[in-house]
Amino acid sequence: MGGPVEQGVWGSVGAQGVRGEHTRGGGGGGAVPGARGVVQRASVRGQVLDALRAALVAGELEPGEVYSAPVLGERFGVSATPVREAMQQLALEGAVEVVPNRGFRVVRRGERELAELAEVRALIEVPVVLRLARSVPGERWAELRPLAEATVRAAGAGCRATYVEADRAFHRGVLGLAGNAELVRIAEDLHRRAQWPLVRDVAGLVADAAEHVALLDALIDRDVDVARSLVREHFRVR
């Protein structure tokens, strides 16, 4: 566990916000005894989970390295418990694996696994988008314009953590038009797993974001042939 790597994580995700949330957790009355503490604990865990996900995408948590919950907790200014709970969630997502009596090892994800994830995503998302292209009116697609533009801004700024959130939001918005919550949940889980390590450089992110805009333009124009070409290209492994 290299110190410089951990410092990068905390410096980039705002550990002070997590620390402040933690220190407010002791005491205070309420209509339901203990409810405030439970809510705040969940809030701390959520903030730690978001920070760890951002660190994975940025490459600040290195594949193959083992990280202990107590040490990470010290860096965040929280106890090891919310860190351990966040890491358990990442283990369920396949991002880390438990190393008994040591902590959690960041999983190495090779080109083949990333290609397989892209293939599964394509099998799910491409048919759905093409079906929606034939049935959803242009004005509904136009409502997603801010989501596509957000990916363009994030890519142009070179902020990977912001880009991955904007990227998922755009795909979630598109698939949400199918009205199938389970579809959205499964697709987003696959999408999140495919986002780390984020191997593309800034130019690659800009190209991906441009594809979002081009696809949306085709969908607004009800041009199914162009939409088909663009959505298939979007899932090509790069």
Distance CA 148, CA 77 (A): 36
Q: What are phi and psi of 195, to 5 degrees?
A: -90, -5
* Sheet bearing 66-67, strands edge to edge: 66-67, 103-106, 96-99
Same fold? 3-106, 111-234: no
Task: Please check the confidence at residue 70 and state whether its pLDDT lies above 80.
Answer: yes
Residue 19 has a pLDDT of 41
Long-range contacts of 22-25 (CB under 8 A, 24+ apart): 22/76, 22/77, 22/78, 22/79, 22/82
State the pTM of this model. 0.75
Element (H, E) at 181: helix 181-194
Model confidence at 202, pLDDT cuts 50, 70, 90, reads confident
Residue 21 has a pLDDT of 41
Model confidence at 198, pLDDT cuts 50, 70, 90, reads low
Distance CA 203, CA 200 (A): 8
Task: Please check the confidence at residue 119 and state whether its pLDDT lies above 90.
Answer: yes
Average pLDDT over residues 109-132: 92
Q: Which residues, 6 or more positions from 187, have their beta carbon under 8 angstroms from its beta carbon? A: 121, 124, 125, 171, 172, 175
More confident residue, 236 or 14: 236
- HSE (side-chain half, CA atoms, 13 Å) at 167: 29
Distance CA 104, CA 48 (A): 15
CATH of domain 3-106: 1.10.10.10
CATH of domain 111-234: 1.20.120.530
Distance CA 183, CA 75 (A): 37
Domain boundaries along the sequence of the chain: 3-106, 111-234
